[in-house]
Amino acid sequence: MLVTWMKGMSADAPQDLFDARARELLQTYRSEKKRIQGVGHPIHVEGDPRVPSLRAISKDNGYYGACWRLLDAIETIQANEFGRKLSINGAGAMGAIAADLGLDPRIARGLALVGRTAGLVGHIMEEAMKPSGPQIWDVVLKEEAKGL
């Protein structure tokens, strides 16, 4: 989506061009009743805590480009002009990173899975070192006995 909508725009284009493109995208998606990928989160409704770090890393390494700027504009215009906050989510940030790196957009999913895999391995190690499963099961059985 980002690559398609930022066509013809350079990373150093004036902010008002990104805002106009974001506005056009939002109006198009609203009229077609389509969901905008890369924004919104069922848990982090006030903002995905991963996004500021991913944005900072992109800026620090020279990869805060047209896709990141468009995604940021989508978030801002959506809140300011359409009255609904839809924060950038981790998938959107990873998509902007992959696109601004010039990678095939499909690779963003694989890059996101690397982080999830590392987290899963951490949970497995934590459970192996300090099991919580038996305590959780005991609580379940206790609550079930109460008829809840």
What are residue 88's phi and psi, to 5 degrees?
-65, 135
Q: Does residue 44 contact residue 102 with C-beta atoms inside 8 Å?
A: no
Q: Where are the domains of the chain?
A: 2-105, 109-148
* The pLDDT of residue 130: 93
Q: Which CATH superfamily is domain 2-105 in?
A: Cytochrome P450-Terp, domain 2 (1.10.230.10)
Tens-binned pLDDT, residue by residue, of the chain (148 aa) = 888 888 888 999 999 999 999 999 999 999 999 999 899 988 888 889 999 999 999 999 999 999 999 999 999 999 999 888 889 998 899 999 999 999 987 787 787 788 789 889 999 999 999 999 889 999 999 999 887 6
Q: What tokens were used for 81?
A: 């002009």
CA torsion, points 11, 91, 52, 43, in degrees to nearest 10?
A: 150
* The pLDDT of residue 97: 92
pTM, entire model: 0.78
